[in-house]
Amino acid sequence: MAANRAEVLVIGGGIVGVCAAYFLAQRGAKVVLLERDEICSGASYGNAGLVVPSHSIPLPAPGVVAKGLRWLLNPESPFYIRPRLDLTLLSWLWRFRRSCTEEHVRTSLPSLCTLQQVSLALFAQFAAEGLPFVWQRKGTMTVYNTEQGFEDGVREVELLRQHGIAAEVLTGEQVREREPLLRETVVGGVYFPGDAHLDPAAFVHALANRTREMGALILTQTEVKVLEGRGRRVERVLADGEWQVDLVVLAAGAWSPQLVRPLGIPLPIQPAKGYSITFCHPNFLPSLPLMLNEVRVAVTPLDGRLRLGGTLELAGLYLSINQRRIHAIRQGVAKYLPSVSGSKEVVWCGLRPCTPDGLPVLGRPHRLDNLIIATGHGTLGVSLGPITGKLVAQMAAGEPLDHDVRLWSPDRFLR
């Protein structure tokens, strides 16, 4: 059977792959996107939909390990590691711990802040151009029900302000004036007016449709099984058939490492499972998204529905739903808000592709000339999706990049 040909082959139809395909097609590239399942069937589907420059402090930061260890002892905490002897997990945890320094926060924060803000502007542009998705720029509010949490939050605000993130520190009363649903137990909050939110699945589907209209070929139910290398190139991509390619963009989220491991490219990405519960016709809707700090749950009003999203579970590449976590999310929310109900509840889980230093992976690995890796966005894949796609297109065209993403290079894991 004759091989298919693709000028640019994108692997993965989540927000990152679809944004990459869109910006590549916009520059006139002949793009083929292969998705194993349906478009937006991975982490990009049921997440909290927050576009949050305010959350630019990377996951590994001073104090996180101690907090994580305390949480591990509590089965209802927002963090869990499934105990197992897995060398890739152990090495990931070791690298994560090594990244928990002031120095790492200082070097990572500028790129995350800037690129989230640029990405937010790209979302706004898509909305202004009439792309059909729910897009709201009302900001977000992080709320605290412990004095210690609030103090830590205020310290983070100082750091974020130095990088251009606007923030209003609020007392408990001021928080309740803005959102009267919040309980008396809430001691304070921070309002971030520059944040936004959207229905992530509506966005990805709308952009995929537009990308098709621009001439890209999007094939679903088509799993890439092997990337075959020869010399400094990916020579063939084996899916249902065989593809000869000029350039491959790997955007397969948490499943990316297994595709490049045989090519000798280490990609230390752990799948970090998170859950959401979406209520149709909920008994209440906050006026803006809330981040419930101590329980790490996001509460997002989505076009008449209410979504609760949270939990970070390092349990491998499994999509089973642990009811204990769902219960923990509900219990956690009840500490801040009335108990939620709705006419229908949809429980979902997804795997965030998490790197040990909390930075995405974006760039060409030095071993191969025709591969761009775009993954590892962890808790920020929605926020950073559009700018990642735009930078992929600039890399593919060999143009100077609008932004310096050397810190996000895939080669950093060789050190």
Ligand X SMILES: Cc1cc2nc3c(=O)[nH]c(=O)nc-3n(C[C@H](O)[C@H](O)[C@H](O)COP(=O)(O)OP(=O)(O)OC[C@H]3O[C@@H](n4cnc5c(N)ncnc54)[C@H](O)[C@@H]3O)c2cc1C
Number of residues that bind ligand X (CB under 6 A): 42
291 is a contact residue toward ligand X (CB under 6 A): no
Token digits of residue 304: 């008449």
293 is a contact residue toward ligand X (CB under 6 A): no
Given 6, 20, 25, 42, the residue binding ligand X (CB under 6 A): 42
Smallest distance from ligand X to CB 337, Å: 18
Q: For residues 42 and 61, what is the distance between their CA atoms, to the nearest angstrom?
A: 27
Smallest distance from ligand X to CB 133, Å: 14
380 is a contact residue toward ligand X (CB under 6 A): yes
Given 3, 5, 37, 283, the residue binding ligand X (CB under 6 A): 37
Nearest 5°: the CA angle 147, 153, 156 is 150
379 is a contact residue toward ligand X (CB under 6 A): yes
202 is a contact residue toward ligand X (CB under 6 A): no
List b or e across 294-319, with b for residues whose CB sees 16 or more CB atoms inside 10 angstroms.
bbbbbbbbbeebbbbbbbbbbbbeee
| Binding-residue pattern over the window 356 to 375 for ligand X, x denoting contact by CB under 6 A | -------------------x
Nearer to ligand X, 89 or 238 (CB): 238
Q: Write the burial class of residue 327 (CB in 10 Å: 0-12 exposed, 13-18 middle, 19+ buried).
A: exposed
229: three-class secondary structure by DSSP: strand
223 is a contact residue toward ligand X (CB under 6 A): yes
Instruction: Specify the stretch interacting with ligand X by CB under 6 A; choose among 20-28, 178-186, 242-250, 347-355.
Output: 347-355
Instruction: Specify the stretch interacting with ligand X by CB under 6 A; choose among 42-50, 69-77, 104-112, 278-286.
Output: 42-50
Contact 363, 408 (CB under 8 A): yes
Nearer to ligand X, 172 or 254 (CB): 254
Smallest distance from ligand X to CB 263, Å: 14
User: Under rule CB under 6 A, which residues in 43-82 are in contact with ligand X?
Assistant: 43-44, 47-50
Q: For residues 388 and 116, what is the distance between their CA atoms, to the nearest angstrom?
A: 10
Given 6, 9, 11, 302, the residue binding ligand X (CB under 6 A): 11
CB within 8 Å of 73: residues ≥ 6 apart: none
DSSP state letter for 241: S
Smallest distance from ligand X to CB 253, Å: 3
Nearer to ligand X, 157 or 196 (CB): 196
Q: Name the nearest CA neighbour of 44 among 211, 304, 259, 252.
A: 252
Given 4, 41, 394, 409, the residue binding ligand X (CB under 6 A): 41
Distances from the Cα of 384 to the Cα of 122, 201, 328, 398, 414, angstroms:
10, 15, 28, 21, 24
Q: Write the burial class of residue 71 (CB in 10 Å: 0-12 exposed, 13-18 middle, 19+ buried).
A: middle
User: Rounded to 5 degrees, what are φ and ψ at 315?
Assistant: -130, 15
Given 172, 301, 332, 350, the residue binding ligand X (CB under 6 A): 350
16 is a contact residue toward ligand X (CB under 6 A): yes
Residues that bind ligand X (CB under 6 A): 11-17, 34-37, 41-44, 47-50, 223-224, 251-253, 255, 259, 274-276, 298, 309, 350, 352-353, 375, 377-383
